[in-house]
Amino acid sequence: MTAVPPPVPYDPELQPGLAAFLDLVERIPLRADTILANRAHFATIIPPVEQMVGDRPVKLTEHSVPGPDGAPDLVLTVVRPQSGVTGAPALYSIHGGGMVLGNRFFGLDGLIDDVLRFGAVGLSVEYRLAPENPAPAAVEDCYAGLLWTVAHADELGIDPARIVVTGASAGGGLAAGVALLARDRGGPALAGQLLQCPMLDDRNETVSTRQYDGLGAWDRNNNDTGWNALLGAARGTAGVSPYAVPARMPDLSGLPPAYLDVGAAEIFRDETTEYALRIWATGGPAELHVWAGGYHGFAGFSPDAEVSHAAAAARLSWLRRVLRAG
């Protein structure tokens, strides 16, 4: 058996944030029999919507929209500047949570920031979670919400040519799946796909997953739990949907511009890098950033670190370019 190489060390400036992440978010090890307990805990760490909005000049509306064929309706939270918009860019946001945790309000604070920063419309989709709703329920929900968004672009004040699908972790994997569905079904022509530390590959066999087996934020064991819940017995076989597991898609040509970023010190480093390489190999546009010493989700829990400032600046630069925003 090949020896597992030592893990890439964490940036010392990030270590307090990593400790806070583990204490706050991963207090209960995520295993098949603790998913419900983790959901209950996770709900306690998402601030109330009123607190996230504060006195910022945005307006939130809730919309019940048609789900996939034969599936229940789903809910979208729409965030717009109070001053109103016409022909605005849109950020279609998909929350993280390992396919088993979270809701559309997870990460809403950052979406509000971007709505105000770009004069954009933000949308956050409530998709069905595993294991109660196995693949491809989640990605199909997210795609259905995107279709509704485009169909109602005029009333939302959105320019349908400037929609970016965004997500981090599981949300990043689902955003990649939505971009693939849009391509293959002749759906909306997305302006871009923003994939942050994305969950892309159910096989969980890269060097980086083994370097962080039992170590760090969202380790290899948590990842096993999430993929097992989503895919069940199909996991690791040729029968999994490549829309639910984007790394399994054999053809990555014809996709909208992609932004991918990931920490060098986390399990998703290698699958994220490989996804970018495969897009480039088709002649496709992708921008990849691998941040030295970064743990999973480091920019959110260590926002004042120098590397987090660099990551935030790179993300905003890419968004300005694809949204054609000043």
pLDDT digits (tens, 9 = 90+) for 29-88: 999 999 999 999 999 999 999 999 999 999 999 999 999 999 999 999 999 999 999 999
| Adjacent-strand bridge partners of 64 | 75
- Count of domains forming the chain: 1
Confidence of residue 3 (pLDDT cuts 50, 70, 90): confident
- How confident is the model over 297-320, as pLDDT tens digits? 999 999 999 999 999 999 999 999
**Residue range of the domain that includes 119:** 12-323
CB neighbourhood size of 7 (10 A): 16
Look at residue 190 and tell me if it is in a domain.
yes
Instruction: Summarize the confidence of residues 86-96 as an average pLDDT.
Output: 98
Q: Is residue 219 part of a domain?
A: yes
3 within a domain of the structure (yes/no):
no
- Local confidence band at 196 (pLDDT 50, 70, 90 cut-offs): very high
Task: Give domain status of residue 166, yes or no.
Answer: yes
CATH code for the domain in which residue 202 is found: 3.40.50.1820
Q: What are phi and psi of 214, to 5 degrees?
A: 85, 15
Rounded to an integer, what distance in angstroms lies between the CA atom of residue 260 and that of residue 257? 10
Cβ–Cβ < 8 Å for 279, 249:
no
Residue 5 lies in a domain: no
CA 3 to each of CA 6, 7, 212, 303: distance values in angstroms, whole numbers, following the listed order: 9, 12, 14, 34
User: Is there a domain that residue 237 lies in?
Assistant: yes
In a domain, residue 63? The reply is yes
Pairing of strands 121-125, 88-94: parallel
Q: What is the average pLDDT value for the chain, to the nearest integer?
A: 97
Residue 112 placed within a domain: yes
Mean pLDDT over residues 123-133, rounded?
98
Distance CA 3, CA 204 (A): 16
307 sits in which H/E element: helix 306-323
pTM for the complete prediction? 0.98
Q: How far is CA 201 from the centre of its chain?
A: 14
Please report which confidence band the pLDDT of residue 2 belongs to, taking 50, 70 and 90 as the band edges: confident
The DSSP secondary structure of 177-209, one letter per residue, reads HHHHHHHHTT----SEEEEES----TT--SHHH
